Amino acid sequence: MSEPILEVRALMKSYATVTAVDGVSFTVNGGMCFGLLGPNGAGKTTTIEIMEGILSATSGEVRYRGEPLGRRSREDSGILFQKTALQDFLTVRQSLTLFRHLYARGHSVDALIQLCALEKLQNRDTRKLSGGQQQRLLLAIALANDPAVLFLDEPTTGLDPQARRNFWELVQSIKASRKTIILTTHYMEEAELLCDEIAIMDRGRIIAQGGPRQLLREHFAEVLLELPKQEFPASARALPLRLFEAGDRIEITTDDLDGTLRTLMDAHVPLTNLRIRPPNLEDLFLELTGKELRA
């Protein structure tokens, strides 16, 4: 990884009754994909919007290439907001042309169309695009100025699995061109696939930060057992195991699989629907906060 491109220092954003971001600090190196993870209301969007220069911080600062945010950072940034409406009655090509003309330099409209696989949609009214097609167009708009830093705020929320995977492929191709990407998401699969480093946020604070695998290694034993909650006897909850309730499941983490299985069998816990898998970032969030990420 190269030099720091974005530095976030003691960032705080307070509203009348709520502190949305509470003293957040981190550094993003050039060419990496940095993920901000957390449930709704964790402060991810507020943090990323301050980094984009769209929102002002109550205190703290964000520096771009060592300088305070300003015209340079704006010229170098591409942004995909969580919710964006485009001008009515324009086609895909016309919308791209509009945004391309707002920047002094960048990709040609044809290149953007090709980059985001919009060839067949270029003459379609933007109001008639599906969710996935709309996100591809918004990604193309974010790339109009060939940005050094690309901000993606929950880019796949609401997309069907197929559209989500298509979008991930696009982001991976952009990542391959060494652009810096800042991504907020509450999809752990997305973060694991795309991010080089993640910061997990809850209630405006970063509660864990590092590479996805590093974080899992630090916080978890090797395996995770899942059992249906309704099949789990109440008496077995007192067993000397690391148990968590996760929706309709009971999760058990352990580094002694044989011993744990013996304990469960001795307690007459039905193991017919037992599932054993390696832990993921969702489990990490549950471990750190005691609650589910998408609760």
Partner 1 sequence: MMNRLLAVWHARNLEFVRDRGTLLFTLVVPIALVVGMSIVFGGPERPLFKVGVLSTRVAQESHPFLHERYVDFVPVTDRADAIRKVGRHQLDLLLDPKDGAHYWVNTDSPKGYIVEKLLLSADHGAVREPVTGTAVRYVDWLFPGVLGMNMMFSCLFGVGYVVLRYRKSGFLKRLHATPLTPFEFLSAQVLSRLSLVMVVTLILYCGVAPIIHFHTAGSLLLLFLIAVMGALSLIALGLTIAARFSSDELVGGVLNLMTWPMMLLSGIWYSLEGSPHWVRLLAQIFPLTHILNAARAVAIDGAGIYQVAPDLAYLGLTALAFLVIGAWSFRWRLD
Q: Are 36 and 201 in contact (CB under 8 A)?
A: yes
Record the tokens describing residue 148, joined without a space. 């050094």
**Which residues of this protein are in contact with partner 1, per CB under 8 A?**
52, 54, 71, 74-75, 77, 79, 81, 83-87, 99, 102-104, 141, 145
What does the radius of gyration of the chain's CA atoms come to, in whole angstroms?
22
List the helix and strand counts (H, then E) for the chain: 10, 14
Nearer to partner 1, 103 or 244 (CB): 103
**The residue type at 58:** T
Cα of 64 vs its chain's centroid, Å = 21
Q: Are 54 and 65 in contact (CB under 8 A)?
A: no
Give min distance, CB of 85 to partner 1, in A: 3
Question: From the CB of 217, what's the least distance to partner 1, in Å?
Answer: 37
C-alpha 226/C-alpha 244 separation (Å) is 10
Query: Given the complex with partner 1, which of 136 and 216 has the nearer CB atom?
Result: 136
State the nearest-atom distance from the C-beta of 286 to partner 1, in Å: 33
What's the closest the beta carbon of residue 97 comes to partner 1, in angstroms? 13
User: Angle CA(264)–CA(267)–CA(268) in degrees, nearest 5?
Assistant: 90
Question: Of 57 and 250, which CB lies nearer to partner 1 in the complex structure?
Answer: 57
CB nearer to partner 1: pick between 72 and 262: 72
C-alpha dihedral (70, 75, 77, 78), degrees to nearest 10: 140
- Residue closer to partner 1, measured from CB, 13 or 232: 13
Smaller CB separation from partner 1, 41 or 53: 53
Nearest distance in Å: CB 64, partner 1: 14
CB of 74 to partner 1, least distance (A): 6
Write the single-letter amino acid at 281. Answer: L
How is residue 281 written in tokens?
Answer: 């970032």
Partnered with residue 205 across adjacent β-strands are 202
